[in-house]
Amino acid sequence: MKTLIEVKIFGETFTVTSEDESKYVQELATFVDQRIRRFDQQTKTSSLAPLRVAIMAALSIADDYLKAQKQETEDTEKLERMSAKLLSRLEQSEQLDRVKTAEASGIATPRFSPLRATQE
């Protein structure tokens, strides 16, 4: 259920409609407020308009987000490659175990040699 939540960012009060819990929305607002204030302090000498400070903070947040998203994609791809390699090794190990078990019990297992092409 959507609820109205009041948050304060950079001295301005905003009413936000959200399905998230109020505490979470307040955490988001606090994060944004802190990022804006950090940029405002860094640019105090140039006295940027609040909108410009907010835009710079938004760009910084977007940069963090996109870098994290890219890192997550790279990590997921790496885990998938590692999982595939591990699965392949497990399958090889199981196959070797079956051969060893069959040999130990005296059951003949077919041995295949690589095919060789010859010219006649």
**Rounded percentage of the chain residues whose pLDDT exceeds 70:** 85
Report the pLDDT averaged over residues 76-87. 96
Q: Is residue 67 part of a domain?
A: yes
Report the pLDDT averaged over residues 70-76. 97
Q: Is residue 95 part of a domain?
A: yes
What is the per-residue pLDDT for 48? 73
Query: What's the structural domain count of the chain?
Result: 1
Q: Does the structure show a pLDDT above 80 at 108? A: no
Contact status, residue 56 vs residue 39, Cβ threshold 8 Å: yes
Report the pLDDT averaged over residues 44-55. 79
> Count of CB atoms within 10 A of residue 84's CB?
10
Q: Does the structure show a pLDDT above 60 at 109? A: no
As given in the structure block, the two tokens for residue 38 are 């950090």
What is the per-residue pLDDT for 17? 96
Q: Does the structure show a pLDDT above 90 at 119? A: no
Q: Is residue 66 part of a domain?
A: yes
Q: Is residue 120 part of a domain?
A: no
Q: Is residue 86 part of a domain?
A: yes
Rounded Cα gap, residues 44 and 99, in angstroms: 75
Q: Is residue 99 part of a domain?
A: yes
Q: What is the DSSP code (8-state) at residue 115?
A: -
**Domain that residue 58 falls in:** 3-103
Q: Does the structure show a pLDDT above 60 at 16? A: yes
For the chain, the average pLDDT equals: 88
Q: Is residue 53 part of a domain?
A: yes
Report the pLDDT averaged over residues 46-74. 91
